[in-house]
Chains A and B, each alone.
Chain A
Amino acid sequence: MLAESAPTRFRDPQIEMAHGAGGKASRRLVEGLFAPLFFGAVPGPLGDAAQVDINGTKVAITTDSFVVKPLTFPGGSIGELAVNGTVNDLAVSGAKAEALVVSYVLEAGLPTPVLEAEVRAMVKAARDAGVRIAAGDTKVVEHGKADQMYVTTTGIGRLLHGVTIDPRSVRVGDRILLSGPIGDHGITILLARGELDFEADLRSDTRSVLPLVESLVHAAGPGIRWMRDPTRGGAATSLNELARDCGLGMVLFEDQIPVRDNVRGACELLGLDPLHIANEGQFLAVVSPEYADAAINALSLAPGGSEAKMIGEVREQPAGTVLVTTLYGGSRIVDMLVGDPLPRIC
């Protein structure tokens, strides 16, 4: 059968906002429509980047689009997210980003200083991340059609030696590591929108995680099973995807999950779970028990890794599920959300 004639499983009649939120609906779209057509009947687990073999050399390639309102916020802007996001997708796939190409969709009426500021931000972020912006493309659409600007970056990188990322290699007893506090970015954006009228001394955590990944690979490469940067949908989504891909249970220890006080306060006030909030400068890693201590030590000693924690372990049950446990013996399942997390008052 021709690839373009392959059957699909996506039955939603139209695309809704939830399909872009990184949660269950997004996964349905990817697994039900894109994967069967692009990758064939049995694509295997989907990662953050793809590997392409070019005459015997394996390169990793990935792409990401950035749609954020407001464009700038404490700690960063869309340009920085666009650079770091793609560098990070490559890093957690075990690759060092070499070059990015960027594509802009700009709204007519966008003031030039705004665009220039973003480009400058991207140049700086690229320099900080050690990556080159090699080429780009621009399109302009009518006023009202692009929320000022959409940015897409595609990155290509060389695979790091000594690490293979494969969710199917995850085993019972493996440890789950988190590079630092979660929730900073998503809550910063939520507050920056101004609709909820809250203020906090909080910044997006956007940064390249490549240096931390490299330290981790150096210290514990053979023990690394899987990594992911928990962006939209939060750590809960990334771990749920892993749980499903490997069929095991991800058991987290609530008291070990690092969350800044004010992020916690905002989440309590708004009825949100930090595990569902987007991050732009953190990553999760699953490491074999033999390498776990070396891994956490390497991370905590590396610049920017001092808040890294071992937050849980892989168990047989509950299979395919993320479970958060407390010190007093209570536990709760943490599922992927359907769409974006919404504040609640009830």
Chain B
Amino acid sequence: MRFVDEFREPELISKAADEIRRLAGTERHYRMMEVCGGHTHAIYRFGLKDILPENIELIHGPGCPVCVLPMGRIDDGLSIAQEPDVIFAAFGDMMRVPGTQGSPLEHKARGMDVRIVYSPSDALKLAQLNPDKHVMFFAIGFETTAPSTALTMMRAKAEGISNFSVFCNHVTIIPAIRAILDSPDMRLDAFIGPGHVSTVIGCRPYVWIAQNERKPIVVSGFEPLDMLQSIVMLLRQLKAGEAKVENQYKRVVPWEGNCAALKAMAEVFQLRPYFEWRGLGFISQSALRINDKYAEWDAEQRFEVPGIRVTDPKAAQCGEVLKGVLKPHQCKLFGRECTPEHPIGALMVSSEGSCAAYYNYEHRKAAMVSLSSIA
């Protein structure tokens, strides 16, 4: 696979790991947060922790749009789909996320019309193919995904497709990073910046992290060599006492971002005054809602939504894990009451949630006698 396999070349990966070990030395302990859930997933999928030195600690950030969605919002979306002749369409990521009455897949097994779509445009197509039904697209994602939702809604408007609406749960990444940095128990040295969000928003929105907070941030790709190179770049900055924004993912991320994508978002969305992030609480100006021009396609305007707030059980420490204060296995419920099979918190449901990633890819390794037997 072009532009994928080159960045997974084993020899180069080993070389990059050697360079990291050389740069990291042994005296200093480095704490780097990867913001994006996709990076969390990549770390585990490629086993990068196995080749990083002990003194580099990767902290998982809150960039998992499924994880930060409060349960009440899932209930709201599902309640709309209870209406007759409504099709609930969503990405596969949402299908097993539990609401108080069960997940979308469980609702499907009970007779609700639930469809998995790969693209919001597929949801719109569903509406065109089913004129006697209403398709409600449960939209999630950060700025990577929001423009596609926006463009789809623009197409719906242009083509006069009225049996289609979007239940919008798009969130923005900068407020989440700000919440992390504002957190009193946070001690971070640097950030591995979200690669695909940056194809939309560019690198400029991170400048305050470097200039005001004095933390280096490298916008990183998702292949093993991308992430390792980003860590090399961060180590070089840290050792030189620098703090700047660097773009490691140049082949794909334009410094200025994607103008057309930003325009589409501005056309359709506006910022909510505040939005609740599961585990992080209410954050102002951190989420998108559909503006009045597109009210006809806003599921929250077209349908009655219960809007009931559902709080997580007190014992669940999702917030601390989300902020990187606790490691997944340090949560009291991890691996016991809360497993991928019966998740209590959303960090266990989404495959890129730190708890699920840790559980699926990692936690039994810790019980191994020694890793040295792996050649």
Q: Do chains A and B touch in the complex (CB under 8 A)?
A: yes
Chain A interface residues toward B at CB < 8 A? 16-17, 24-25, 195-198, 251, 255, 261, 264-265, 268, 270-271, 315-318, 320-321, 323, 325-333, 335, 338-339, 342-346
- With a CB–CB cut-off of 8 A, which chain A residues contact B105? 17, 339
Q: Does B337 contact A (CB under 8 A)?
A: no
- With a CB–CB cut-off of 8 A, which chain B residues contact A320? 364
If A195-B116, A328-B13 touch, whether A346 touches B38 (CB-CB below 8 Å) is yes
Residue contact A328 to B51, C-beta cutoff 8 Å: yes
Residue contact A330 to B364, C-beta cutoff 8 Å: no
CB < 8 Å neighbour of B352 from A16, A264, A343, A346 = A346
Residue contact B118 to A345, C-beta cutoff 8 Å: yes
Determine the residue in chain B with the shortest Cβ distance to A345.
B91
Min C-beta distance of A194 to chain B, whole Å:
10
Residue contact B47 to A330, C-beta cutoff 8 Å: yes
- With a CB–CB cut-off of 8 A, which chain A residues contact B47? 325-326, 329-332
Determine the residue in chain A with the shortest Cβ distance to B342.
A338
Q: Does B186 contact A (CB under 8 A)?
A: no
Residue contact B48 to A16, C-beta cutoff 8 Å: no
- With a CB–CB cut-off of 8 A, which chain B residues contact A343? 91-92, 116, 118
Q: Mind listing 23 A-B residue pairs with CB under 8 Å?
A: A24-B341, A196-B117, A197-B118, A268-B4, A316-B373, A323-B374, A328-B11, A328-B14, A329-B14, A329-B50, A330-B50, A330-B224, A331-B365, A331-B374, A332-B46, A332-B47, A332-B362, A333-B360, A333-B363, A335-B340, A342-B96, A346-B37, A346-B350
CB < 8 Å neighbour of B360 from A255, A335, A344 = A335
If A330-B224, A344-B92, A346-B37 touch, whether A317 touches B369 (CB-CB below 8 Å) is yes
Which B43-65 residues have C-beta < 8 A from chain A?
Answer: 44-48, 50-51, 64-65
- With a CB–CB cut-off of 8 A, which chain A residues contact B299? none
- With a CB–CB cut-off of 8 A, which chain A residues contact B219? none
Q: Does B106 contact A (CB under 8 A)?
A: yes
Which B87-136 residues have C-beta < 8 A from chain A?
Answer: 91-93, 95-96, 105-106, 109, 115-119, 122
Residue contact A333 to B364, C-beta cutoff 8 Å: yes
Residue contact A196 to B118, C-beta cutoff 8 Å: yes
Q: Does B286 contact A (CB under 8 A)?
A: no
Q: Of residues B17, B122, B140, B371, which shows the largest number of chain A Cβ atoms within 10 Å of its Cβ?
A: B371
| Interface residue tally for chain B (C-beta within 8 Å) | 57
- With a CB–CB cut-off of 8 A, which chain B residues contact A338? 96, 340-341
Residue contact B365 to A333, C-beta cutoff 8 Å: yes
Min C-beta distance of B7 to chain A, whole Å:
12
Residue contact A268 to B116, C-beta cutoff 8 Å: no
Residue contact B14 to A342, C-beta cutoff 8 Å: no
Min C-beta distance of A96 to chain B, whole Å:
38
Residue contact B374 to A325, C-beta cutoff 8 Å: yes
- Cα-based distance from A198 to B373 in the complex (angstroms): 41
- With a CB–CB cut-off of 8 A, which chain A residues contact B158? none
- With a CB–CB cut-off of 8 A, which chain A residues contact B374? 251, 323, 325, 329, 331
CB < 8 Å neighbour of A317 from B119, B350, B370, B375 = B370
Residue contact B13 to A344, C-beta cutoff 8 Å: no
CB < 8 Å neighbour of A329 from B51, B65, B360, B373 = B51
- With a CB–CB cut-off of 8 A, which chain B residues contact A345? 91-93, 118, 141, 145
Closest 3 CB pairs of A and B: A330-B47, A327-B10, A342-B92
- With a CB–CB cut-off of 8 A, which chain B residues contact A198? 118
Determine the residue in chain B with the shortest Cβ distance to A272.
B92
- Cα-based distance from A345 to B142 in the complex (angstroms): 11
If A318-B368, A329-B51, A330-B224 touch, whether A339 touches B96 (CB-CB below 8 Å) is yes
- Cα-based distance from A318 to B47 in the complex (angstroms): 15
Q: Does B367 contact A (CB under 8 A)?
A: yes
- With a CB–CB cut-off of 8 A, which chain A residues contact B371? 331
- Cα-based distance from A25 to B106 in the complex (angstroms): 14
- Cα-based distance from A271 to B96 in the complex (angstroms): 15
- With a CB–CB cut-off of 8 A, which chain B residues contact A270? 92, 118
- Cα-based distance from A303 to B1 in the complex (angstroms): 29
Determine the residue in chain A with the shortest Cβ distance to B64.
A346
CB < 8 Å neighbour of B351 from A17, A265, A333, A344 = A344
- With a CB–CB cut-off of 8 A, which chain B residues contact A25? 341
Min C-beta distance of B261 to chain A, whole Å:
16
Q: Does B80 contact A (CB under 8 A)?
A: no
Q: Does B361 contact A (CB under 8 A)?
A: yes
Residue contact B46 to A330, C-beta cutoff 8 Å: yes
Min C-beta distance of A333 to chain B, whole Å:
5
CB < 8 Å neighbour of A333 from B51, B350, B361 = B361
- With a CB–CB cut-off of 8 A, which chain A residues contact B106? 16
10 new A-B contacts at CB < 8 Å, known A326-B47, A330-B48, A342-B96: A270-B118, A317-B368, A317-B373, A328-B11, A331-B50, A343-B92, A343-B116, A343-B118, A345-B118, A346-B64
Min C-beta distance of B305 to chain A, whole Å:
24
Q: Does B66 contact A (CB under 8 A)?
A: yes
Which B2-46 residues have C-beta < 8 A from chain A?
Answer: 4, 10-11, 13-14, 17, 37-38, 44-46
Residue contact A330 to B51, C-beta cutoff 8 Å: yes
- With a CB–CB cut-off of 8 A, which chain A residues contact B375? 325
- With a CB–CB cut-off of 8 A, which chain B residues contact A323? 365, 374
- With a CB–CB cut-off of 8 A, which chain B residues contact A321? 364
Residue contact B45 to A332, C-beta cutoff 8 Å: yes
Q: Of residues B13, B17, B118, B371, which shows the largest number of chain A Cβ atoms within 10 Å of its Cβ?
A: B118
- Cα-based distance from A317 to B374 in the complex (angstroms): 9
- Cα-based distance from A24 to B354 in the complex (angstroms): 21
Residue contact A318 to B10, C-beta cutoff 8 Å: no
- Cα-based distance from A333 to B361 in the complex (angstroms): 4
Residue contact B362 to A333, C-beta cutoff 8 Å: yes
CB < 8 Å neighbour of B17 from A197, A271, A328, A331 = A328
Which B305-325 residues have C-beta < 8 A from chain A?
Answer: none
- Cα-based distance from A330 to B228 in the complex (angstroms): 13
- With a CB–CB cut-off of 8 A, which chain B residues contact A17? 105, 109
Min C-beta distance of B364 to chain A, whole Å:
5
If A195-B116, A317-B370, A333-B365 touch, whether A346 touches B96 (CB-CB below 8 Å) is no
- With a CB–CB cut-off of 8 A, which chain A residues contact B141? 345-346
